[in-house]
Amino acid sequence: MRPIIPDYLIEVLKDVESDTSGAPAGYIPELAAADPERLGVAFATIEGEVYGAGDIDTEFTIQSISKPFVYAMALSDRGFDSVLARVGVEPSGEAFNQISLERDTGRPLNPMINAGAITVHSLVGTADLEPSARVARVIGGLSAFASRPLATDETVRASEMAHAHRNLAMAHMLRSHGILTEDAHAVVDGYTRQCSVLVTTRDLAIMAATLANRGTNPLSGEQVVPEPVVRQVLSVMFSCGMYDAAGDWATQVGIPAKSGVAGGLIGALPGQIGIAAFSPRLDRHGNSVRGVSLFERFSSDMGMHLMDIPTIARAVVRSSHTIGSGPHALQILELQGGIGFAGAESVLRAMDASFLENRLALDLTRVHSIDDVARRMLLEATSRLTLDGHDIYLVDPESVIPDPGDGGRLTEVDTVHQAMNPPYATAQHGSQRRREGLGQ
DSSP tag of 245 = G
CB of 42 to ligand GLN, least distance (A): 19
Site for ligand GLN in 40-79 (CB under 6 A): 63-64
Query: Catalytic: 187?
Result: no
CA atoms within 13 A on the CB side of 164: 26
Based on the residue annotation, tell me whether 229 is a catalytic residue of this protein: no
Which listed residue (71, 243, 393, 424) is catalytic? 243
Spatial contact of 65 and 197, defined as CB atoms under 8 Å apart: no
Interface residue with ligand GLN among 97, 293, 346, 383 (CB under 6 A) is 97
In 3D space, the residue among 142, 88, 136, 140 whose CA is nearest the CA of residue 116 turns out to be 88
Is 67 known to be catalytic?
Answer: yes
**Alpha-carbon span 376 to 390, nearest angstrom:** 19
- State yes or no: residue 159 binds ligand GLN (CB under 6 A): no
- Going by C-alpha positions, the residue among 135, 180, 130 that lies closest to residue 154 is 135
Cβ 286 to ligand GLN shortest distance, Å: 5
Q: Is 34 in the site for ligand GLN (CB under 6 A)?
A: no
Distance from chain centroid for Cα 111:
17
**Pattern of binders to ligand GLN over 222-261, x per CB under 6 A?**
--------------------------------------xx
Q: By C-alpha distance, which of 372, 374, 373, 363 is closest to 336?
A: 363
- CB of residue 165 vs ligand GLN: minimum separation in angstroms? 11
Nearest distance from residue 192's CB to ligand GLN, in Å? 6
Q: Which of 6, 1, 4, 2 is nearest to 202 (CA)?
A: 6
Long-range contact set of residues 124-130: C-beta below 8 Å, sequence gap at least 24: 124/70, 124/73, 124/74, 124/77, 125/77, 126/77, 127/181
Neighbours of 320 (CB within 10 A): 16
The residue with its CB nearest to ligand GLN is: 64
103 to 122, contacts with ligand GLN by CB under 6 A?
114
286 sits near ligand GLN (criterion: CB under 6 A): yes
Nearer to ligand GLN, 118 or 333 (CB): 118
Residue 280 engages ligand GLN in binding (rule: CB under 6 A): no
> Active-site residue among 12, 41, 50, 64?
64
CA distances from 159 to 37, 60, 72, 116, 405 (A): 22, 14, 27, 22, 61
Is residue 427 within 8 A of residue 359, CB to CB? The reply is yes
Site for ligand GLN in 331-360 (CB under 6 A): none
281-308: b (≥16 Cβ within 10 Å) or e: bbbebbbbbbbbbbbebbbeeeebbeee
Say whether residue 123 binds ligand GLN (CB under 6 A).
no
Of residues 372 through 411, those in contact with ligand GLN by CB under 6 A are none
Active-site residue 424, yes or no? Answer: no
Minimum CB–partner distance for residue 172 and ligand GLN (Å)? 15
Q: Has 243 been annotated as catalytic?
A: yes
Q: Which of the following is catalytic: 225, 261, 292, 367?
A: 261
Contact positions vs ligand GLN (CB under 6 A): 63-64, 96-97, 114, 160, 167, 195, 260-261, 286
Query: Which residues form the catalytic set?
Result: 64, 67, 191, 243, 261
